[in-house]
């Protein structure tokens, strides 16, 4: 073996050793980064809503519109007050870290929904006309109670100082659904049924989703955001013969916007339906 061959072999061994050292260093760095990410994830808050059973009731005071929403059944619902009720969803922190400075905000296509509810009322020959002006949804009617929902103030929802993980706080926290959405959704259902009780109820599933945005921080002050679409899913709806009293049963279905890649297409379709 010549001196030149030995020199080449030595150079190759040195190169391989250097490459191996480089690979080891890269692997060490990647492992450290992965451990850091896992550590950060283990202390990161994760906020989520639970899907909730829903019962909607009309009353003499509401003119039969099922604007009283409840998680439980109500036996004597005909004597309820003529007001749109509050309805709460439970918000949980299913992560391992505490969430702080939680801000809740809401959105849905108010103008388009008002327009379509008016169309449904006309089809049902109901004396009801909704307006959306200056951030307020109002109802003018000779049959139903006057309603003024100040949507501009309802868009900004609950503010929560701290939300502990579910291994500490199993009850979560109550978050109010905006009464403007409850009112318009209830009117939508009422006027669909009032149009022709024997007809297919295709319009019931066309109510646009309510979007909720959650802005919050972890304990290190890092900002986070989570968004969900909430769908009113009706399972059954009843109106006794020759009666205005309506009730329905269903649930609020929750969809993470990241999982719902077709959100814009569905919302666009819903708006197209409302424009008909």
At 244 the three-state DSSP class reads coil
The token pair at 54 is 């829903």
3-state secondary structure 184-240: HHHHHHHHHHHHCCCCCCHHHHHCCCEEEEEEEECCCCCEEEEEEEEEEEEEEEECC
Per-residue confidence (pLDDT) for residue 77, from 0 to 100:
66
Q: How confident is the model at residue 271 (pLDDT cuts 50, 70, 90)?
A: very low
Read off the pLDDT of residues 149-173 as tens digits, 9 standing for 90 and up. Answer: 999 999 998 899 999 999 999 999 9
Per-residue confidence (pLDDT) for residue 206, from 0 to 100:
86
Per-residue confidence (pLDDT) for residue 47, from 0 to 100:
96
CB within 8 Å of 49: residues ≥ 6 apart: 89, 90, 91, 92, 175, 212, 228, 230, 254
Q: Give CA–CA dist 152/4, Å, rounded.
A: 84
Read off the pLDDT of residues 225-258 as tens digits, 9 standing for 90 and up. Answer: 999 999 999 998 887 666 677 889 999 999 997 7
3-state secondary structure 18-86: HHHHHHHHHHHHHHHHHHHHHHHHHCCCCEEECCEEEEEECCCCCCCCCCEEECCCCCCHHHCCCCCCC
Read off the pLDDT of residues 169-219 as tens digits, 9 standing for 90 and up. Answer: 999 999 999 999 999 999 999 998 887 655 546 678 889 999 999 999 999
Sheet holding 87-93, edge to edge: 47-49, 87-93, 173-177
Per-residue confidence (pLDDT) for residue 274, from 0 to 100:
46
Q: How confident is the model at residue 86 (pLDDT cuts 50, 70, 90)?
A: confident
Work out the burial of residue 46: count CB atoms within 10 Å of its CB; fewer than 13 is exposed, 13-18 middle, 19 or more buried.
Answer: middle
The pLDDT of 4-12, averaged and rounded, is 63
Per-residue confidence (pLDDT) for residue 263, from 0 to 100:
46
């Amino acid at each position: 073996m010549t001196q030149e061959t030995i020199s080449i072999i030595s150079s190759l061994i040195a190169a391989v050793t250097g490459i191996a050292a480089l690979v080891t260093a890269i692997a060490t760095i990647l492992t450290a980064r992965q451990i850091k990410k896992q550590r950060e994830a283990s202390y990161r808050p994760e906020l989520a809503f639970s899907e909730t059973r829903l019962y909607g009731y009309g009353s003499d005071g509401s003119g039969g519109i099922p604007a009283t929403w409840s998680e439980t059944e109500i036996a004597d619902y005909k004597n309820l007050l003529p007001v749109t009720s509050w309805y709460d969803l439970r918000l949980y922190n299913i992560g391992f870290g505490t969430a702080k400075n939680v801000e809740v905000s809401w959105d849905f296509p108010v103008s388009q929904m008002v327009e379509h509810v008016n169309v449904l009322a006309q089809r049902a020959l109901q004396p009801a006309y909704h307006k959306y002006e200056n951030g307020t949804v109002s109802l003018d009617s000779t049959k139903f109670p006057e309603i003024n929902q100040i949507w501009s103030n309802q868009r900004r929802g609950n503010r929560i100082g701290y939300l502990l993980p579910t291994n500490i706080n199993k009850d979560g926290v109550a978050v109010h659904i905006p009464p403007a959405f409850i009112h318009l959704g209830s009117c939508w259902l009422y006027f669909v049924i009032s149009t022709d009780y024997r007809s297919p109820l295709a319009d019931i599933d066309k109510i646009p989703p309510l979007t909720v945005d959650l802005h919050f921080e972890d304990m290190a002050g890092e900002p986070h955001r989570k968004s969900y679409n909430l769908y009113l899913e009706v399972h059954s709806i009843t109106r006794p013969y020759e009666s205005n009293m309506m009730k329905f049963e269903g649930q609020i279905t929750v969809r993470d916007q990241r999982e719902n890649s077709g959100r814009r297409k569905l919302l666009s379709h819903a708006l197209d339906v409302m424009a008909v």
